[in-house]
């Protein structure tokens, strides 16, 4: 080291960077526009590369693979054994005992005739068994989709005054939900459901659970004049303005069965091996309450019952679908919302259990399967179905091995439809209410909410918005608000990307955030910034202002020595994954603005795509000079500080 090293223009601690060969930034290998578009297209719509396994196979094998792709039953069917069947029959019967009371209850939740819930537990599971790729999903009506379907249709048509039209609209909505789900899968737009974040879903589910539970106060208290609205305020006011209608017999019965069901749920949660306790409890409650009502002539004591159900299998309903007319907008919208929500739940459930058993579930394939299931269902008197969480958990715990458990369940429901329906005549509505409350209470996930609060405050706000939106405004508006806020957050991140001032960690050539690593040090004469986002039209204005303000702040800082004004602005572009025309202009403008202050712009490590665009712009814009482009910040600093030294000594 020279003796006059006290000259602060000479960045002395830079000398520790070993003067090594400077590496050139090279352009990426040439690819044509078509090739680039193709690979971008593939990465966007086929990130899972579904045709991978077809490569290099003979034609016959390809046909078999294709058939297996569309009908996963062909994949696991040939290897099906009696041992697997034994497991499946146990789990199938278990979920059937849950599916029958839940089917009736959820149909009531959607303001549909109870029998439609049973129809929907018969056909869709059969379709899913052939098309679906999950081994654990138990298919049937689900609470949230039922709630949304009912609440959206009720806004325009009353299920009590015009039940036939309401039913037609429900089937039509189911058709469009299925069509929409299948199209999402076919067009490989499955990522749309990714915009429902975990936080949104937790808040939404909890809100929906409360709305659903409040609705059950009608049957639990035996109120006859109940509001048609869904929100917290009108429901509570309806409950407390009709106290004269409360029936103590109904309330007592409801309370007892609710306690019984919640206890059963508690037992199964404490010990998953006792899954059959909670799985069997609803059926036991139904049987017990039906016997009670029948024995004590409950109707005479003001306990309302389901009433007579028509025996027989699903009637066709294709002539009930609305493809035109004034309600088309309503059914399309309802189909869209219920379709997305039930898809989100189903795929999340399928993925959870697939991860537990270590197999893959293909999101787009699942969408096509669910979609077809709903389209077929809609022409044969079924309403929206999906893979429900609680039922699939029971299925999994009961030891289901394949989709055969769905077939077993379906057959059991069929037997019920054909022979056992009259027995439900005396089943009291209050017990159905208790079953629904027990089912949805599990959707309120307080530990997850606490964890979100702990990790990310903004996510927590999104969750609260979804929650309060659902219980105070309306189910679909709460969801829309939460999705809107989530997307707004993403856009805000894009509009306000992070810029970080880097400093050198002494003794190394590592450069890190000055405000994070306290030992990192500024290098006199250099200002090193890292941009941590794609640079595009939405953030170039901000970036320009922010970068110029960084420099301005630095130069007016009191502890900055006057002689170490900025000679080089080094922009580390490692994290800039893409750039557009506005971004290229930004660099051009920055260079010009810096030239006015006598500083130079140096770019470090632009990635392939960015480098290419800069080079293409070069002959028009003069963005890059070849000596202002380095592979690492360390090399840039080392090379430039020797230039600077030379320059300053020539001035002396």
26 touches a second copy by CB under 8 A? yes
570 and 551 Cβ atoms separated by less than 8 Å: no
Nearer to a second copy, 131 or 604 (CB): 604
Scan residues 426-455 and list those touching a second copy (CB under 8 A): 451-452, 454-455
Nearer to a second copy, 33 or 160 (CB): 33
Selected from 5, 37, 186, 418, the binder of a second copy by CB under 8 A is 37
Q: At its nearest, how many Å lie between a second copy and the CB of residue 507? A: 8
Separation between Cα atoms, residue 630 and residue 640, nearest integer Å? 10
575 touches a second copy by CB under 8 A? yes
Binding region for a second copy (CB under 8 A) out of 271-279, 430-438, 516-524, 638-646: 516-524
Backbone dihedral angles phi then psi of residue 538, each to the nearest 5 degrees:
-75, -15
Selected from 533, 601, 604, 624, the binder of a second copy by CB under 8 A is 533
Rg, the chain, Cα only:
32
Q: At its nearest, how many Å lie between a second copy and the CB of residue 454? A: 5
Binding region for a second copy (CB under 8 A) out of 22-30, 238-246, 365-373, 387-395: 22-30
Nearer to a second copy, 65 or 321 (CB): 65
Scan residues 586-625 and list those touching a second copy (CB under 8 A): 589, 592-593, 596, 605, 607-608, 613, 616-617, 620
Work out the angle at residue 326's Cα, subtended by the Cα atoms of residues 152 and 341, and round it to the nearest 5 degrees: 30
**CB atoms closer than 10 angstroms to residue 59:** 7
Separation between Cα atoms, residue 131 and residue 372, nearest integer Å? 9
396 and 136 Cβ atoms separated by less than 8 Å: yes
User: CA distances (Å), 163 to each of 113, 395, 513, in order?
Assistant: 9, 34, 65
Q: At its nearest, how many Å lie between a second copy and the CB of residue 602? A: 17
Backbone dihedral angles phi then psi of residue 524, each to the nearest 5 degrees:
-55, 140
Scan residues 446-505 and list those touching a second copy (CB under 8 A): 451-452, 454-459, 486-487, 490-498, 500, 505
Binding region for a second copy (CB under 8 A) out of 1-9, 211-219, 278-286, 508-516: 508-516
Selected from 16, 162, 194, 228, the binder of a second copy by CB under 8 A is 194
Selected from 512, 514, 560, 564, the binder of a second copy by CB under 8 A is 512
106 and 418 Cβ atoms separated by less than 8 Å: no
Selected from 5, 13, 43, 646, the binder of a second copy by CB under 8 A is 43
Separation between Cα atoms, residue 167 and residue 147, nearest integer Å? 15
Q: At its nearest, how many Å lie between a second copy and the CB of residue 438? A: 27
Nearer to a second copy, 313 or 348 (CB): 348
Q: At its nearest, how many Å lie between a second copy and the CB of residue 593? A: 8
359 touches a second copy by CB under 8 A? no
228 touches a second copy by CB under 8 A? no
65 touches a second copy by CB under 8 A? no
Scan residues 544-573 and list those touching a second copy (CB under 8 A): 545-546, 549
Selected from 515, 563, 627, 649, the binder of a second copy by CB under 8 A is 515
483 and 463 Cβ atoms separated by less than 8 Å: no
Selected from 19, 35, 47, 237, the binder of a second copy by CB under 8 A is 47
Q: Which helix (H) or strand (E) holds 604?
A: strand 600-604
406 and 385 Cβ atoms separated by less than 8 Å: no
User: According to the 3-state scheme, what is the secondary structure of 441-506?
Assistant: HCCCCHHHHHHHHHHCHHHHHHHHHHHHHHHHHCHHHHHHHHHHHHHHHHHHHHHCCCEEEEEECC
Q: Residues binding a second copy: what is the number (CB under 8 A)?
A: 87
Q: What is the largest CA-CA distance in the chain?
A: 111
Q: How many CA atoms lie within 13 A of 538 on its CB side?
A: 12
645 touches a second copy by CB under 8 A? no
Nearer to a second copy, 76 or 517 (CB): 517
Nearer to a second copy, 381 or 486 (CB): 486
271 touches a second copy by CB under 8 A? no
355 touches a second copy by CB under 8 A? yes
Scan residues 164-193 and list those touching a second copy (CB under 8 A): 191
Binding region for a second copy (CB under 8 A) out of 94-102, 310-318, 388-396, 576-584: 576-584
13 touches a second copy by CB under 8 A? no
Selected from 12, 15, 48, 87, the binder of a second copy by CB under 8 A is 48
Nearer to a second copy, 154 or 544 (CB): 544
631 touches a second copy by CB under 8 A? yes
Give the SS3 label for residue 403: coil
198 touches a second copy by CB under 8 A? yes
Binding region for a second copy (CB under 8 A) out of 126-134, 253-261, 283-291, 515-523: 515-523
Binding region for a second copy (CB under 8 A) out of 167-175, 224-232, 323-331, 509-517: 509-517
User: CA distances (Å), 40 to each of 71, 490, 608, in order?
Assistant: 29, 21, 14
- Computed from CA positions of residues 632, 635, 636, 638, in that sequence, does the dihedral angle turn out positive or negative? positive
User: Which residue in 336, 335, 387, 341 sits closest to 133, CA to CA?
Assistant: 387
User: According to the 3-state scheme, what is the secondary structure of 197-238?
Assistant: CHHHHHHHHHHHHHHHHHHHHHHHHCCCCCCCCCCHHHHHHH
Q: At what angle do helices 475-495 and 457-468 cross, to 10 degrees?
A: 150
Report how far apart the first and last C-alpha atoms of the chain are (Å, whole number). 19
Selected from 300, 516, 561, 562, the binder of a second copy by CB under 8 A is 516
Separation between Cα atoms, residue 431 and residue 426, nearest integer Å? 11
Q: At its nearest, how many Å lie between a second copy and the CB of residue 363? A: 7
Selected from 517, 521, 522, 648, the binder of a second copy by CB under 8 A is 517
Q: At its nearest, how many Å lie between a second copy and the CB of residue 67? A: 23
Binding region for a second copy (CB under 8 A) out of 42-50, 154-162, 325-333, 400-408: 42-50
Selected from 581, 642, 643, 649, the binder of a second copy by CB under 8 A is 581
Give me the residues paired with residue 527 across strands.
Answer: 569
380 and 123 Cβ atoms separated by less than 8 Å: yes
Q: At what angle do helices 198-221 and 446-455 cross, to 10 degrees?
A: 150
């Amino acid at each position: 080291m020279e003796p006059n090293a006290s000259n602060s223009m000479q960045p002395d601690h830079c000398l520790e960077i070993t003067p090594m060969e400077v590496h050139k930034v090279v352009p990426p290998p040439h690819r044509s526009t078509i090739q680039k578009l193709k690979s971008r297209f593939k990465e966007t719509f086929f990130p899972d590369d579904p045709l991978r396994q077809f490569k290099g196979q003979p034609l016959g094998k390809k046909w078999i693979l294709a058939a297996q792709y569309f009908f996963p039953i062909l994949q696991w069917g040939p290897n099906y054994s009696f041992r697997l069947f034994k497991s499946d029959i146990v789990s199938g019967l278990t979920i059937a005992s849950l599916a029958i009371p839940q089917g009736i209850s959820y149909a009531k939740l959607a303001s549909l005739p109870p029998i439609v819930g049973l129809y929907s537990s018969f056909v869709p599971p059969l379709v899913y068994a052939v098309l679906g790729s999950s081994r654990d999903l138990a298919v049937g009506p689900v609470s949230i989709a039922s709630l949304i379907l009912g609440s959206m249709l009720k806004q325009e048509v009353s299920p009590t005054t015009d039940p036939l039209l309401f039913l037609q609209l429900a089937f039509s909505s189911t058709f469009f939900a299925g069509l929409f789900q299948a199209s999402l899968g076919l067009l490989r737009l499955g990522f749309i459901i990714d915009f429902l974040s975990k936080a949104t879903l937790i808040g939404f589910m909890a809100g929906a659970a409360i709305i659903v539970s409040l609705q059950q106060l009608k049957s639990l208290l035996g109120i006859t004049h109940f509001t048609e609205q869904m929100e917290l305020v009108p429901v509570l006011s309806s409950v407390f303005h009709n106290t004269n209608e409360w029936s103590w017999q109904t309330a007592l019965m409801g309370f007892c069965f609710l306690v019984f069901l919640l206890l059963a749920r508690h037992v199964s949660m404490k010990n998953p091996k006792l899954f059959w306790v909670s799985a069997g409890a609803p059926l036991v409650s139904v049987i017990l309450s039906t016997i009670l009502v029948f024995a004590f002539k409950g109707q005479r004591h003001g306990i309302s019952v389901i009433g007579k159900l028509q025996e027989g299998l699903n009637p066709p309903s294709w002539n009930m679908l609305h493809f035109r007319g004034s309600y088309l907008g309503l059914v399309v919208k309802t189909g869209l919302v219920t379709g997305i929500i039930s898809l989100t739940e189903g795929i999340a459930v399928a993925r959870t259990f697939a991860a537990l058993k270590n197999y893959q579930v293909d999101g787009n394939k699942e969408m096509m399967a669910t979609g077809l299931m709903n389209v077929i269902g809609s022409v044969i008197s079924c309403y929206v179905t999906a893979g429900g969480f609680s039922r699939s958990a029971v299925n999994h715990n009961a030891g289901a091995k394949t989709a055969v458990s769905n077939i077993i369940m379906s057959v059991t429901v069929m037997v019920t439809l054909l022979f056992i329906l009259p027995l439900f005549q005396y089943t009291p509505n209050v017990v159905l209410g208790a079953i629904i409350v027990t089912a949805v209470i599990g959707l309120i996930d307080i530990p997850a909410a606490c964890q979100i609060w702990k990790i990310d405050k903004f996510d927590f706000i999104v969750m609260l918005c979804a929650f309060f939106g659902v219980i105070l405004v309306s189910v679909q508006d709460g969801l829309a608000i939460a999705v809107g806020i989530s997307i707004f957050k993403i856009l805000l991140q894009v509009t306000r990307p992070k810029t970080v001032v880097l400093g050198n960690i002494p003794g190394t050539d590592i450069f890190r955030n000055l405000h994070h690593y306290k030992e990192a040090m500024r290098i006199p004469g250099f200002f090193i910034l890292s941009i941590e986002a794609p640079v595009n039209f939405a953030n170039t204005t901000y970036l320009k202002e922010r970068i110029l303000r960084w420099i301005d702040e630095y130069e007016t800082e009191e502890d900055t020595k006057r002689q170490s004004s900025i000679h080089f602005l080094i922009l580390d572009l490692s994290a800039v994954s893409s750039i557009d025309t506005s971004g290229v202009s930004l660099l051009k403008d920055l260079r010009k603005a810096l030239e006015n202050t006598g500083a130079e712009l140096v770019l470090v490590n632009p990635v392939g795509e960015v480098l290419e665009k800069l080079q293409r712009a070069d002959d028009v814009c003069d963005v890059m000079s070849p000596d202002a482009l380095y592979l690492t910040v360390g090399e840039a600093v080392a090379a430039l500080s020797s230039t600077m030294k030379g320059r300053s000594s020539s001035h002396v």
